[in-house]
Amino acid sequence: MAIFDYVMLLISVVLSLGLARLLETHARLIKRGSAVRWSAVYVAWLVIVGAMHVDLWATLWSVHTYKIWTWTVILGFFFQAISLFYGAVLIAPDEDADVIDLWRFHVENRLRYLSALVTYVVLGSYLGLTFLPAEQWLSAIYKAGLPMVLACVLAMTTSSLKAQRVVALAMVVLLAWYFATYLPGFSA
C-alpha cells in the first residue's frame, strides 16, 4: 500500500464516524416528530457540516497521485477530519429534552460547531498551500477560504434571525460554488 492509502484509510474512518453521527442523530430527531421545532438556519448548517465531510474526502482523492507526504500534511488532514468530527458531534442536540427547538439550539451552541468549521477551513488553507500552485492557492483563499471564515465568524457574532438566515444561505451558495469550481470531477 502507498502512503496515500494509509492516510485515506485513517481519514475515512474519522469522516465516517462524523457522518454517521450526523445521520443517526438527525434520524432520531425526525422520529420524534412534533417534539422537534425545526429551523431552516440549523438545517443549512447541518448540510454545510455534512458537505464539508464530503469536501475533505474529495480533496484527499484529488491529491492521491502525490508521492511525498510529510508528517505536517498527514497531521493537517487528520486534524481537519477531527475538527469535522467535533463539528458533527457539537451540531447534534441532546435528545433528552421534551421539546427540541433547533433555532434555540443553534443560537446557544453555534460557537462550538462553527469554531470547528473555522478550524477546518484554516487547516485547509494551509494544506492548499502545500499542494496548489501559488496563484491557484491565492485565488482559492480569496474566493472561498476567507469568505467562509468570515461567514462563520459573522454567524458566531450575531443572533439576529434575519442575519443568521442570510449568512447560512450565503454559506450554502458559497460552498456550492466552491464544489463546482474546485472539485469539478474525479479522475483516476
Please tell me whether residue 185 adopts helix, strand or coil conformation. coil
User: Is 146 a domain residue?
Assistant: yes
How many Cβ atoms from other residues are within 10 Å of residue 173's Cβ?
10
| Average pLDDT rounded to a whole number, residues 104-114 | 95
Residues 4-19 as b/e (b if ≥16 CB within 10 A, e otherwise) read beebbeebeebbebbb
Q: Structural domain of residue 134, as residue ranges?
A: 3-182
Q: What is the dihedral of CA 167, 81, 85, 147, to 10 degrees?
A: -10
Q: How many domains in the chain? A: 1
Separation of CA 44 from chain center: 12
Q: What is the mean pLDDT of the chain?
A: 90
User: Is 57 a domain residue?
Assistant: yes
User: Is 42 a domain residue?
Assistant: yes
Residue 186 has pLDDT above 70, yes or no: no
pLDDT at 185: 60
pLDDT at 94: 83
| Average pLDDT rounded to a whole number, residues 66-91 | 93
Structure pTM? 0.91
pLDDT at 63: 84
User: Is 26 a domain residue?
Assistant: yes
User: Is 22 a domain residue?
Assistant: yes
pLDDT band at 12 (very low <50, low <70, confident <90, very high): very high
Residue 183 has pLDDT above 90, yes or no: no
| Average pLDDT rounded to a whole number, residues 127-148 | 85
User: Is 187 a domain residue?
Assistant: no
